[in-house]
Structure 1
C-alpha cells in the first residue's frame, strides 16, 4: 500500500478528480484523509464514499475556500489537531475561469483562474509547510493540465494560471528540499469521469450529434484513442505523494495517455 499509515489532505473534493484522489488515498492505506471543499454537503457525501471503500480510514471534513488564507490555515490546523501530522497535500481545487480567447478584452476570467489555481494552491501549500518542516518530511502534489503545452479552444485563462503554478512548483520544490519536503505536479489530459461526461453530453445535444462522436473527438489526439479515467489519474497523483517517489522533486508527471510526450 503506497500510503500506508499516512495522513493525506486533499483540496477541491468534487464530483471529478477530487473525490477520486481521496478514495485512492484511502485504498492505498492512508490512516486518515482530510478533505476540503466549499460545499459541506459534498464533503459529507465524499466521507460516506471513502468509508465504504476503506472502513479503516479516518475522514475529516473541513469546508474550505482556498482563496481565503485563513480558511486554508484552519484546514491545516484542524488536520494537525485531529491526526497529529500531515504527510501529504494534494491540491486539486480549481477554477476554469470561463472559456475565452486571449484576444477577448475581459480579464475577469483570468483573474478568477489565477486567484484559485495559482494563489489558492499556494495558500493551501503554505498552510502545511510548518508542520511538514517540523516532521522533516512531506509531499505536496499540484494538479496541473496538459493545456499548458497543448492549446484548446477557450482554455487560455486556465492554462495561463496553471503555467504560473508549474513555475511555482519548481521554485517551491527547490526552496523546501533542504527541509525534507518534495513538491511535484501531475499534468492531466481529458479524464473520463463525471465532469467530462457531462461536457460530452452537453456538446452532443448542442451540436445535434451522438455522444459517441463527441467522445471520439475528445480522444482523437490520444494514442490508442482512449481517455484515461479519473481513477487512473488519481493513482498517478497518489504515487507522487508516496515514499515510492522519494527521488522525484520539482517534476511534472504527464497523466494523459501519451497525448503529450515531451
Structure 2
C-alpha cells in the first residue's frame, strides 16, 4: 500500500509503544509530519528523534483535558493544522471482577479509555472544521461489543468510545470530518503480556503466535485515511475481516 501523505499533520496518542509507535513509523514513511503524544516523555522523545525533523513529541496525559487542549494548541502553533487524529491511548487495567474491583482504578481506566478519546476529539474538531475537514480514528476493540470476564472497565470504556465514533460522525460528517474506528483484534503488544499474566477469560489463554504484529493495525490506520475506508465512517473497521486485510495489502 502506498498513500502519499506528504505535508499532512498526524497526531497519535499512546504513541510510546505498540500500535501507536508503529503508527508513527507508518505515517512518517508516507511523508507525514507526525506528533507523538503519551505520558512517557523519554520514550516518545527518543522515537521522534529517530524519525527526524518531521516528528514532534508532546508528553501528555489524555485523561487531563487541560493537558490535551494545551498539547493540541502546541501542534497548531507549530504546523498550523491537524489533518489526522489517532486516539490510540488505552489501558487494560484493572483486570478484575466487578465485585472486587477498586473503584478508583476502575474510574481511572474510564478516564483514559473513554474520556481520553472525548478529549482528543473535542480538541481537534474545531480546528478541523475551520480548515474544512480532517480524519479522526478511534482505536477500538472487539471488547466494545463483547463482554469479557474481568474486563468490565475496558469493555465499558471501549463501548463508550465506539458510541463517540458514531456520535462524532453524526454531528461532524456534514462539516467534512471523517470519523471512524479501528478494531484491530489481538495484537502482539505489552498489553497482551499483561492479559496473559492475568489468566482471566479466554483471551489470556491464546497462544502468543495468534496475535498480529503491531505493524498491521498501523498500516491499516494509514489506509483508513483514504476514501477506500469511507464505507466505515461512523463505524469500526475490523481487522479480523479478511476483506479488510486484503484491501490494506496485509495478505494476498
TM-score by length of 2: 0.84
* Contact kept in structure 1, 2:92 and 2:191, CA below 8 Å: no
**Alpha-carbon shift at residue 45 of structure 1 (Å):** 1.6
Q: Alpha carbon RMSD of aligned pairs, Å?
A: 2.6
Q: Measure, in 2, the Cα distance between the counterparts of 1:134 and 1:27.
A: 27
**Which residue number corresponds to residue 247 of structure 2?**
none
* Contact kept in structure 2, 1:133 and 1:180, CA below 8 Å: yes
Q: Which structure has the larger Rg over C-alpha atoms? A: 1
Whether 1:176 aligns to 2:164 is no
TM-score by length of 1: 0.81
- CA deviation vs aligned residue, 1:149-186 (integer Å, no higher than 9, x gap): 34444222101111011111101111001110011111
- CA deviation vs aligned residue, 1:27-68 (integer Å, no higher than 9, x gap): 1221x01111112101112113433xxxxx601111111111
**Alpha-carbon shift at residue 129 of structure 1 (Å):** 1.1
**Aligned partner (choices 206, 220, 227) of residue 236 of structure 1:** 220
* Contact kept in structure 1, 2:148 and 2:155, CA below 8 Å: no
* Contact kept in structure 1, 2:49 and 2:55, CA below 8 Å: no
Q: How does 1:143-154 map to 2 (within 5 A)?
A: 143-154=139-150
Q: Measure, in 1, the Cα distance between the counterparts of 2:206 and 2:241.
A: 13
Q: 1:156 to 1:198 in 2, by over 3 A?
A: closer
Q: 1:215 to 1:67 in 2, by over 3 A?
A: closer
**Aligned partner (choices 97, 103, 118) of residue 99 of structure 2:** 103
* Contact kept in structure 2, 1:23 and 1:49, CA below 8 Å: no
* Contact kept in structure 1, 2:5 and 2:27, CA below 8 Å: no
Give ranges in structure 2 of 5+ residues lacking alignment: 243-252
Q: How does 1:184-223 map to 2 (within 5 A)?
A: 184-196=180-192, 217-219=205-207
Q: How does 1:150-165 map to 2 (within 5 A)?
A: 150-165=146-161
**Which residue number corresponds to residue 250 of structure 2?**
none
Whether 1:134 aligns to 2:118 is no
Q: How does 1:1-262 map to 2 (within 5 A)?
A: 1-5=2-6, 6-30=8-32, 32-51=33-52, 58-104=54-100, 106-196=102-192, 217-219=205-207, 226-256=210-240
Q: 1:251 to 1:16 in 2, by over 3 A?
A: same
SS of 2:161's partner is helix
* Contact kept in structure 2, 1:35 and 1:59, CA below 8 Å: yes
**Which residue number corresponds to residue 209 of structure 1?**
none
**Alpha-carbon shift at residue 10 of structure 1 (Å):** 0.4
Give ranges in structure 1 of 5+ residues lacking alignment: 52-56, 207-213
